[in-house]
Structure 1
Amino acid sequence: MKIALLGYGRMGKSIEAIAVNRSHSIVLKVSDADSNYDFADADVAIDFSIPSVAVANIKKALDAGVPVISGTTGWLDHYDEIIDYCNSKEGTFLYASNFSLGVNLFFELNKKLIELMSGFSEYTTEIEEIHHTQKLDAPSGTAITLAEQIIEHTNYNNWTLDEPKPTEIQIDAKRIEGVPGTHEITYNSEVDAISIKHTAHSRQGFAMGAVIAAEWIKNKKGIFSMKDVLNIG
């Protein structure tokens, strides 16, 4: 498989190493400052760029008829626009806030815990996420996904990085050197607390998941998620 890498930072380089090891080839490497490029004979594009260029990168790939895997966060106010654009092009697009197999299982565990906790109003909910200091956006896309899952099934109607109102979930976003990614959800009451936590030990799990998604999506049409790739949920 021939892969175009949109964004060639740490994640792009990790994806490249795994893809080459799995007998794929990298036919295009686009830095965040590049705008003059084409997709030649790429079979699929993997986007781990930055928020300010992600939308343009994705649209350019869709214009070229190339399926896009995107893990860039911080641009999701344009998500519906991209979905409409992809459909208008009869293209292929997969976005995930996190490509790790463990995190996607964690999403399913979160949904199950929400079901169990939804009838107990004495518990409040908090989310903590910790990432390396090079991560530009806060909170993480993964933390937002976790919060949106909770909001969908509870009386919470929003999340915040600030002091929360009773109807808001507080997300505590921390940036610490060398931390690949940690997410913890805690249900607190006056008498006890219940927590679930996912800790990434390296970027390899994210990169491997993105390559697996690219392998899966080749020759498919439509809008997909990691639940489709992993057949979970």
Structure 2
Amino acid sequence: MNILILGYGKMGRIISQIAEERGHKIAARINIENVSDLETLDTAKVDVAIEFSQPEAAYDNIRWCLQNNIPVVSGTTGWLEKKPEIEKLCEAQKGAFFYASNFSIGVNIFFKVNRFLARLMNDQRDYQVSMEEVHHTEKKDAPSGTAITLAEGIIEEMEKVKTWKLVKEEKVEDQELPVVAKRIDPAPGTHIVTYHSKIDDIEIKHTAHSREGFALGAVLVAEWIKDKKGVLDMNDFLTF
């Protein structure tokens, strides 16, 4: 399979390496310095694109792929206010667009556990839920896409939580989920959801040890999406 890499930072490099180890060819590696190469790229020789760039570049990268009938897998966060536009374009072009805030299998299991726990805690009025996330200092968006996905899962399962709020400490109004975002090197990513009461705390935690789990997941999705159509996510890819 010929894969176009859009965004050639740390994640892009690991994705490229894993893809080649799995027998794929890299059609091109595009970043901010050579984005003009897309104008002369032979799109007929690209089977799928994997997009892990920057928030300011993601929308244009994904739009270009859809306009050129290239299935695109994106893990870039911080641009999601424009995601509905991309979804409309995908449907209009009868293309394939896959987005996930996190491609790690472990994290996606954690998403399921988070929802299940939130459902159990819905009637427990003595507990206040909060979240803390830690990422490396090069991560531009805060909170992370993974933290937002966790927050959205809690909001959907708990009647008393209506919104999340980025804070420096865990003090918010009722019906708000406080999210503390820390940037500390060299952390690939840690997410902690805590339910606190005067009697006890309940806590679930996911810690990534490297970026390889995220990168492998993106390549696996790229292999899967090649002949698919529509707007897709990890719920379509995973069977659990």
Superposition TM-score, scaled by structure 2 size: 0.94
Indicate the residue corresponding to 1:17 in structure 2.
17
Matched, 1:90 2:90: no
Tell me the secondary structure at the aligned position of residue 50 of structure 2: strand
Query: What is the rounded CA distance, in whole Å, between the counterparts of 1:136 and 1:215 in structure 2?
Result: 28
Give the drift of 1:228: 1.5
Q: 1:124 to 1:39 in 2, by over 3 A?
A: farther
Indicate the residue corresponding to 1:210 in structure 2.
218
Matched, 1:4 2:4: yes
Report if the CA contact (8 A) 1:32-1:50 is conserved.
no
Partner of residue 64 from structure 1, selected from 58, 61, 68: 68
Partner of residue 43 from structure 1, selected from 34, 43, 47: 47
Matched, 1:27 2:27: yes
Tell me the secondary structure at the aligned position of residue 136 of structure 1: coil
Tell me the secondary structure at the aligned position of residue 202 of structure 2: strand
Matched, 1:156 2:161: yes
More off after superposition, 159-168 vs 181-190:
159-168
Residue correspondence of structure 1 range 92-131 to structure 2 within 5 A: 92-131=96-135
Give the drift of 1:33: 4.4
Indicate the residue corresponding to 2:192 in structure 1.
184
Indicate the residue corresponding to 1:166 in structure 2.
174
Report if the CA contact (8 A) 1:39-1:61 is conserved.
no
Query: What is the rounded CA distance, in whole Å, between the counterparts of 2:214 and 2:103 in structure 1?
Result: 5
Provide, for residues 194-218 of structure 1, a one-character-per-residue CA deviation record: whole Å limited to 9, x for no partner: 0000000000000000000000101
Give the drift of 1:226: 1.2
Report if the CA contact (8 A) 1:39-1:64 is conserved.
no
Query: What is the rounded CA distance, in whole Å, between the counterparts of 1:29 and 1:60 in structure 2?
Result: 15
Query: What is the rounded CA distance, in whole Å, between the counterparts of 1:39 and 1:101 in structure 2?
Result: 33
Partner of residue 76 from structure 1, selected from 64, 80, 83: 80
Q: 1:15 to 1:39 in 2, by over 3 A?
A: farther
Letter in 2 for 1:73: T
Tell me the secondary structure at the aligned position of residue 133 of structure 2: strand
Report if the CA contact (8 A) 1:132-1:175 is conserved.
yes
Query: What is the rounded CA distance, in whole Å, between the counterparts of 1:177 and 1:16 in structure 2?
Result: 23
Q: 1:230 to 1:224 in 2, by over 3 A?
A: same
Q: 1:204 to 1:16 in 2, by over 3 A?
A: same
Provide, for residues 53-74 of structure 1, a one-character-per-residue CA deviation record: whole Å limited to 9, x for no partner: 1000000000110001000000
More off after superposition, 154-163 vs 17-26:
154-163
Query: What is the rounded CA distance, in whole Å, between the counterparts of 2:103 and 2:126 in structure 1?
Result: 34
Partner of residue 201 from structure 1, selected from 209, 224, 229: 209
Aligned-residue CA RMSD in angstroms? 1.0
Query: What is the rounded CA distance, in whole Å, between the counterparts of 2:76 and 2:119 in structure 1?
Result: 29
Q: Percent identity?
A: 50
Tell me the secondary structure at the aligned position of residue 102 of structure 2: coil
